[in-house]
Chains A and B, each alone.
Chain A
Amino acid sequence: MRFRPPRPDSPKRVLGYLAGLVLFGIVGAIALAYTGLYNIAADHGHPPPVYWFLEVGMTRSIELHADNDEVPPPAAPGLARLGAGHFAGGCEYCHGKPGVPPDPISRRMLPMPPKLERASDHWTQGELAWILDHGIQASGMPAWPSQVRADEVWAVVAFLEELPNLSTAEYERMVAGNARLGARSADEITDWGEAEASLTGCARCHDTPDAPPVSTLVPRLGGQSRDYLLAALKQYHLGDRESGFMMPVAAALDAAQRSRLADYYAALETPPHEQAPPDEGAVARGEQLALFGDKDGMIPSCRSCHGEGARADYPKLDGQSADYLAQQLRLWQDGVHGRSEAGRIMATIAQRMSAEQVKDSAAYYASRPAFAPGGGTRQARADGAP
């Protein structure tokens, strides 16, 4: 057969050129890597074209992948304060805080972690949430500790929105949350001992004898059942229960420390959540569900596990915040929770609940007098009942 060269403008010829180019690019890239010609020293800095490539690549990638239409969860009261607590523990080391430069070590990273005061001008909320959730490759920016809790990053986004307006002192107050001492320092650890230092970490977000939790998304712990607290801490410690806030904190705690913490909170009297008064209709519907269940939906009454005489390792719900309860139920519905033994029970049931039933039951329990140490409720105690 006679060989006929393709005509100059034929698609075959164009395809041939393209294939050649691609092949050249691939060979070039492999050669660059194997020869080791490129200097990757951090003190060396990026040559301007590489810097441009990385910078534009990163920005475009984030803009493309972030979903700006994603609606953030409705702002819960104190959301930014919750984000502040995490920022102090997880972000401050590299990104610094208002008026204070970042740690000298982190300043020698390449790329250098940006100061975040202006982050919310530079990125949209959706982009910030995306960065927090997914992290950025080869930059030192980690992804969110729990890869199934994209809901949590919104607290940090809310905090970043407020960051530009904070003075150093305001920042310190905000990240300290309910802790009396601000962020812990080396002195504090030596003076207070490990347990109290841990408590400083807890009190940033959770309730203390003087204050309710910083956000309605944070559960109130004072007076909760000891067995439940212990189980929850263990699950966070092992990663069986997912939370980007709690997992880093609980990872550092050994069994004895967890036990002391559980003892501490089980015996602690703390004020109830500050939350908006719930919708009466929702409370009434929620009460129906909590007391009698929904036979057609195969949902047993909440009371059968969370009422009087329940097992010690089932949590108390009375007076817990509606935001927190509803969020937890949604996590069960989405299959995020449910790796623990008790979690598997609740997952089965939560998945049968409608969105409305989630809200109603949360509203009902939020409307109840808050639980207190050793059974009974704070209200009852205050009223002098046994």
Chain B
Amino acid sequence: MKRAGPLLLLLLVAACAGPQSALSGAGSGSGRALLLTIVMTVGFTAVFALVLGLTALAIFGPQGWRERFGREGWVYGLGIAFPVVVIGALLLWGFAILGADEALADAEDPVRIEVTGERWWWRVTYLTDDGRRVESANELRVPVGRTVELALKSADVIHSFWLPAYAGKTDMIPGRTNTLRFVADEAGRVRGQCAEYCGGAHAFMAFWVEAMPEAAFEDWLEHEAGPPPETSFPDGETVFLSSGCGGCHAVRGTPGASGEIGPNLSHVGSRTSLGAGIMPNDREAFVRWVADHQEIKPENNMPPYDILNDEELAALGAYLEGLQ
């Protein structure tokens, strides 16, 4: 089953791939890599079958065949000539794919986004055409069909930005800026995750990406750049401001909430997930997060807020959910 299996398995697996699969090939680069994957899997399954067949021949084969196979010539042929040809061909193709990925650098008017890896979340800053910097966190929205150019940085240790559905991974290294370009071919919502072990809560450093039609993206970005609607939960806002949340988190348009240390919360209520891709994003989740975040995501850098009582937590949850 294993001998004939991989291709079959691969197709089976690709068909029921989850949101973080490298087998979905929904982007430019990931599509090319997927084709390479499939070709190599099929080809190498054949090579593997050949080796197993030869092993069987060497052990169980008829005496005459075995004698013929027991000569040094075979070692030259199968051990040197055959791999040189196969590997050479593969390498050339691999380089071609690399070249195609690099060609994205010439795209006109890419969407420029700066993503900074922090322990253990993602700071996302959209650089608009008119020169504004719109900060968000733990979620990317990108237009379908247009080149996305990510400037990848790190604020502390090495992280790696990996969005399997659209592109391979690229490391985020302190003191350097790496660039990753991709095109999302179809609309949808996919998941990405930090791929380089970055200490403590590495397992909890994920994010969602929503690819949307170009016009919807522009509208969304315009909304994102502005302040959230006036809150209908002033009590929650009071808890937020008086407890010091604003020292680390910013809410656009709210004086007293201009901190830049933690994720920007201006539109936190409209995001897909909470805690960098690890929780749903609703009122209960906000309450749970504030009350228990050190249990939910151990070692994260937010101070524990055990000081808040249930009433205050509920008000805070409602306020945060309302930051749409």
Contact = CB atoms under 8 A, between A and B. Distances in A.
Direct contact, A vs B (beta carbon within 8 Å): yes
Interface string A285-324: 0000000010110111101110001110110000000000
Contact of A304 (B155, B247, B306, B307): B247
A295 B306 CA distance: 24
A252 B297 CA distance: 40
Given A301-B247, A305-B247, A311-B242, A341 B259 contact: no
A144 B187 CA distance: 68
Contact of A348 (B245, B259, B304): B304
Contact of B306 (A300, A314, A344): A344
B120 to A, nearest CB: 13
A300 B256 contact: no
Interface string B241-274: 1111111100000001001110000000000000
A18 interface: no
B242 A309 contact: yes
B259 A310 contact: no
B241 A309 contact: yes
A175 B247 CA distance: 43
Nearest to B312: A311
B261 A295 contact: yes
Nearest to A303: B247
Contact residues of B: prevailing secondary structure: loop
B305 to A, nearest CB: 7
Given A293-B261, A298-B301, A301-B259, A310 B306 contact: no
A298 B261 contact: yes
Contacts of A342: 307
A62 interface: no
A20 B218 CA distance: 92
B5 to A, nearest CB: 50
A310 B247 contact: no
A304 B246 contact: yes
B303 interface: yes
A148 interface: no
Given A293-B247, A311-B243, A304 B256 contact: yes
Nearest to A306: B244
Interface string A339-376: 00110111111000000000000000000000000000
Contacts of A344: 303-304, 306
A248 to B, nearest CB: 27
Nearest to A308: B256
Contact of A300 (B261, B305, B307): B261
B256 A309 contact: yes
Contacts of B243: 305, 311
A345 B248 CA distance: 12
A304 B261 contact: no
Contacts of B301: 298, 348
B261 A345 contact: no
A341 B261 contact: no
A296 B260 CA distance: 9
B303 A349 contact: yes
B242 A300 contact: no
A206 to B, nearest CB: 25
Contacts of B247: 293, 300-301, 303-305
A347 B303 CA distance: 8
A313 B303 contact: no
Interface string B273-308: 000000000000000000000000000011111110
Nearest to A352: B301
A303 B303 CA distance: 16
Interface of B: 155, 241-248, 256, 259-261, 301-307
24 contacts: A293-B259, A295-B261, A296-B155, A298-B301, A299-B261, A300-B259, A301-B247, A303-B247, A304-B245, A304-B246, A304-B247, A305-B243, A305-B247, A309-B242, A311-B242, A311-B243, A311-B244, A314-B244, A345-B244, A345-B303, A345-B305, A345-B307, A347-B303, A349-B303
Given A293-B259, A345-B307, 12 more contacts: A293-B261, A295-B260, A300-B259, A300-B261, A304-B259, A309-B256, A310-B244, A311-B242, A344-B306, A346-B303, A348-B302, A348-B303
